[in-house]
Structure 1
Amino acid sequence: MRGDNLRMVGKLAVIAGLMFGFGYGLVPMYRHICAALGINVLSLTERQATAYNAGSSGKVNTQVDTTRTITVEFDANARGPWDFKPAVRSMQVHPGEMSTVMYEFRNIQQREMAAQAIPSYAPKQATAYFNKLECFCFNEYKLQPGEAKNWPVVFVIDPKLPKDVTTITLSYTFFEVPGKDKSAAAEAGAGEPRS
């Protein structure tokens, strides 16, 4: 009986060792599979991707089309009395390359403002190829009087963008969300006694 227990403990130790080795080997296996298939490279920083590609037998990120350069122009429109503008007016990017542009906001009103931005693209056919990974347009924001914010737009242009498109304009319209101040005023009025 004692011999059976020792054999079982030995088998379990071998299985635990194999599981640990497999778990330890998953990270390099995952990197090699992703590099071979050209996926998940967007999560790497440019320096990490360069270092990783240099160490992977000369393979390069096939998602970035370095033979093409797209000019991305940034436009900002405000529907209300506040400042809203991109930090830069344009940038040159390669399709498949992750890029970031900052937008600056300032509420110049003397009251809190609830607002949201809506994007549009030109030419219209570029809409399907302009992928935003992070954008202030995904949410509604409240800005206090005089409050200033800087928000990023992180984007990638799909390498499948038609070859005849060399310039894309990303335009945002920043507008006040209606009814927010009225509901706040109604809630404040509801708590007051009537005469």
Structure 2
Amino acid sequence: MGLRRENLRMLGKLAVVASGMFAFGYLLIPAYKAICEATGINILSLNERQVPGNGVAGAEARALAKNTQVDTSRLITVEFDANARGPWQFKPAQRTMQVHPGEMATVLYEFQNVQDRRMSAQAIPSYAPRQAAPHFNKLECFCFSQYTLDPGEKKEWPVVFVIDPRLPKDVTTITLSYTFFEVGGKIPQAPESTAGAVQAPAREAGS
């Protein structure tokens, strides 16, 4: 009789422990979501966001943006500039946009090889003011790679970026500038100021 009573008591303790574990597991998911929303951290997506060329866009980009801390009290004007170091067409699809720090945004750049030969090219970015550079985080950018384009071929590339909320308060405008140059030629210096700072060198007569 005593052994049976001990067994029933042990069974009761195990039932209490099992119920507690079930309740803990049930509450863990909403607790994790609440922590992510409060801190702006999504550990599962950090590695994916740091790898260039993942194609973070559309619904996936919007989902990632929800997991980023956004400073809605500030608006940063981002200006887009393009400098072509060669006989091709290169420009942003839009010249400016306003974003909140911490907000994911996308801008498209358009490129066309107007030559009658195949060419390989790459872009180098620069920022103005310079102190904004460490706070301008590109999640996807055509400047990560070289591209080979056939005669007359057109390309359209996205730049997906987030401005770090730690950007100094006195910075209200950032210019993102790209210089596109042909691979194999002399690499130009990145432009140091705002739009139009770098111009294609004039050709000498007879060259």
Instruction: Verify same fold: TM over 0.5.
Output: yes
Matched residue SS, 1:45: helix
Identity of aligned residues (%): 70
| Unaligned residue ranges in structure 1 (runs of 5+) | 1-14, 50-60, 180-195
Matched residue SS, 2:109: strand
Correspondence for 2:165 among 159, 169, 176 = 159
Partner Cα separation in structure 2 for residue 72 and residue 44 of structure 1? 19
Correspondence for 1:45 among 59, 62, 85 = 62
Give the letter aligned to residue 123 of structure 1: P
Change beyond 3 A, Cα 1:133–1:175? same
Q: Counterparts of 1:17-28 in structure 2 under 5 Å? A: 28=30
Q: Deviations over 1:126-147 (max 9, x none)?
A: 0010000000000001011100
Q: Which residue number corresponds to residue 66 of structure 1?
A: 72
Correspondence for 2:84 among 66, 78, 81 = 78
How far did 1:31 drift? 2.6
Check conservation: 2:61, 2:104, Cα contact below 8 A: no
Change beyond 3 A, Cα 1:36–1:68? closer
TM-score, normalisation: structure 1: 0.68
Paired residue total: 151
Change beyond 3 A, Cα 1:161–1:110? same
CA RMSD of aligned residues (A): 3.0
Partner Cα separation in structure 1 for residue 140 and residue 39 of structure 2? 24
Give the letter aligned to residue 34 of structure 2: H
Partner Cα separation in structure 2 for residue 120 and residue 170 of structure 1? 6
Q: Which residue number corresponds to residue 142 of structure 1?
A: 148
**Stretches (4+) displaced over 3 A:** 24-30, 41-44, 46-49
Change beyond 3 A, Cα 1:107–1:68? same
Q: Counterparts of 1:180-195 in structure 2 under 5 Å? A: none
Check conservation: 2:80, 2:176, Cα contact below 8 A: yes
1:115 aligns with 2:121: yes
Check conservation: 2:65, 2:103, Cα contact below 8 A: no
Partner Cα separation in structure 2 for residue 146 and residue 36 of structure 1? 50
TM-score, normalisation: structure 2: 0.64
How far did 1:25 drift? 7.7
Matched residue SS, 1:159: coil
Q: Which residue number corresponds to residue 32 of structure 1?
A: 34
